[in-house]
Amino acid sequence: MKEINTEIKVRGYHLDGYQHVNNARFLEFLEEARWSYMEQNPGFRDWPKGVSFFVVNININYRKPAAFGDVLSISTRLCDIRKKSATIHQDITNKGTGIVVADADVVFVLVDEKTQKTIPLTGGMYTVLENIAGFHGID
C-alpha cells in the first residue's frame, strides 16, 4: 500500500490555553496530509473531473499531546476500498520522539458534482483507487 508522509511544524496559533495542539487542529493536520497524499500520488493524475471526495466519518484517537515547535510526521495511506466507501488511515507521529500522538481512520464516499449523488466504487472508479492504494480486492 502506497504511503506518503507529510510534515507539519506546530506553530503558536495551533495551541490551546493548555499550550498543546487543540484537538480540532489535528483534524486540519489530517486534512492537509490527505491533500498532500493526493498531490504526491501519481494515481490521482487519472482522477476524473467532476468527482469529489466527501468525508462521512472520522474516527480519531488522541494519544499524546503535541506542543509548540514539535515537528509532526503524518503518514497517509488508502487502506480499504468497499463498494460504497473507502478508508484512509493516518498516523501523526512526533518526529523528534517517534511517539504516535494521534491516529485516525477517515471514511469517504465519492460524489458526482453535477447530480450531488454518491458514485459506487466499482468499475473505473475502483480501478483508479486500487492503483493509488497499490493493492487489489474489494469487499
Q: Mind telling me the catalytic residues? A: 16
Instruction: Provide the 3-class DSSP secondary structure of residue 33.
Output: helix
Cell of 96: 523528534
CA distance 3 to 37: 8
Helix (H, G, I), strand (E, B) or coil at 136: coil
Report residue 122 as a C-alpha cell: 466499482
CB burial of 79-117 (b: ≥16 within 10 Å; e: otherwise) equals bbbeeebbbbbbbbbbeeeeeebbbbebbbbbbeeeeee
- What letter does residue 48 receive in the DSSP assignment? P
